[in-house]
Amino acid sequence: MKNIAILCSGGDVSGMNAALKRFVEYTLAKGLRPYFVYNGFEGLIDNEIVEAGYGDVSGIITRGGTKIRSARSQRFHEKHYRQKAIENLLSHHIHAVVVLGGDGSFKGMKRLSEESDIAFSGIPATIDNDIAGTEYALGVDTALNVIKYAIDAVRDTAASFSRAFVIETMGRECGYLALVSALTSGAEMCLIPELPYDLEHYKRRFLREKEEGRTYFIAVVSEALDNTEMIRQWFETEIGMEARTTILGHIQRGGNPTVHDRMMAFHFVTQAIDGLLGGKKESVVCYRDGGFDYLPIDDVAFRTYRLPESLLRLGKEFNTLSRV
């Protein structure tokens, strides 16, 4: 194995550029020749495969997103396009590929691995933190910090203007971002798909707090519930407080990567390359119990992520908190 490539697939996250920097520096240190695949699987099909060097990664560590761009590819679901992707990789004598992405990307990677002798190593990268087998996916810490700044700022205005704010976070079907953000920003309400909640309980508590002098509330709700506007109206009709919504949207995906994401990018890439050099044909680098591990793609891409029990317990406590 001499030539090795890296690509980003699915939603981009902050920390991908740090991963690219480590990829180039570590592969060169190991005597390998690094290649970038631009535009994810689309770029594999279209042969956007370019040798990379130190100059390509200078000054990118501070930037969110990914210098080599990411993409979703409808064509990649079709075998003849995947065959084209394999031919393109082999035309550059590339026999190993690192893929940064989510479970969809790993499913695509699995297909390519079954249809060729090329080795693949996946690195979990999604702000949703919803990938089975790993406690951490690249980009999550930066997203949490973006949300933290946003909620802190909203709190300033909510407190000054006696309003309730309903803040909607991303995460698709997973409530991780909403729950961690609610806990760490001191929100009064947190609604996520993994936990049942009782609006009557919240109502009793909030009315009592209002009587005691509370002038604002912060609610964090997961986009999965699709009830942000309904909760805003609930604050107005049931709690009797003017309410606004803030939908954070894609700002959660960007921004200057945190120190944690930069370090995790370095570790993930190092593990991925070491795994490939050690002969792993298809695996995903997972972070759990404070260390890194390799899981077969099947155990990651085709399993459902569950929030850790310890976090769910905190969420249950939060949802049933009662001062009444």
**Can you list the pairs that 35-38 forms with residues at least 24 positions away whose Cβ atoms lie under 8 Å?**
35/3, 35/4, 35/5, 35/6, 35/92, 35/94, 36/5, 36/6, 36/7, 36/68, 37/5, 37/6, 37/7, 37/68, 37/97, 38/7, 38/68, 38/69
Residue 239 CA, chain-centre distance (Å), reads 34
Closest approach, Cβ 124 to ligand ATP, in A, equals 9
> CA 177, CA 308: separation in Å to the nearest integer?
13
Q: Which is nearer to ligand ATP, 63 or 107 (CB)?
A: 107
Closest approach, Cβ 257 to ligand ATP, in A, equals 16
> CA 66, CA 117: separation in Å to the nearest integer?
27
261 labelled catalytic? no
Closest approach, Cβ 206 to ligand ATP, in A, equals 34
What sign does the CA torsion over 122, 110, 7, 276 have? positive
> Which residues would be at the binding site for ligand ATP (CB under 6 A)?
9-11, 41, 72-73, 76-77, 101-105, 107-108, 111, 126, 128
Q: Which is nearer to ligand ATP, 15 or 101 (CB)?
A: 101
Active-site residue (options: 12, 128, 141, 261): 128
Closest approach, Cβ 298 to ligand ATP, in A, equals 12
| CB closest to ligand ATP, residue no | 104
Q: Which is nearer to ligand ATP, 185 or 283 (CB)?
A: 283
Q: Which is nearer to ligand ATP, 12 or 188 (CB)?
A: 12
- Positions marked active-site: 128
